[in-house]
Amino acid sequence: MSLVYSTDKGRLCPNCSQPKSTCRCKQQCTVPNGDGIVRLQRQTNGRAGKAVVVISGLDLAPDALKALAKDLKQRCGCGGSVKDHAIEIQGDHRELLKAMLEELGYKVKLSGG
């Protein structure tokens, strides 16, 4: 069991036991290698019938992935999140997202339902 709080340093990272402010664990996160194709998939599983578009296959660092997700959400006018190195955009905006990602130079394929 590792220490998660210290009165001297405050909150500690459970992985490296360094203070959260100086922890480098998130930055060392590896980017999964893809085949160079960004896939857009519409999903409704476990979401009470509401559709989301899952964007996977982006070879970006976590910070750059969050910045791209923010830009895509703003341009679609909807919400979303970044989970497991994939971007989830609320609503069925596949065609709009495909056009936006192709403008940025990605090779995009629509996959799944």
Q: Where are the domains of the chain?
A: 1-30, 31-111
Whole-number Å distance between alpha carbons of 20 and 18: 6
* pLDDT tens by residue, 40-84: 999 988 888 899 999 999 988 888 999 999 999 999 999 999 998
Average pLDDT, the chain: 84
* Res. 34 pLDDT band, cuts 50 70 90: low
Q: Which CATH superfamily hosts domain 31-111?
A: SUI1-like domain (3.30.780.10)
Residue 78 DSSP one-character state: S
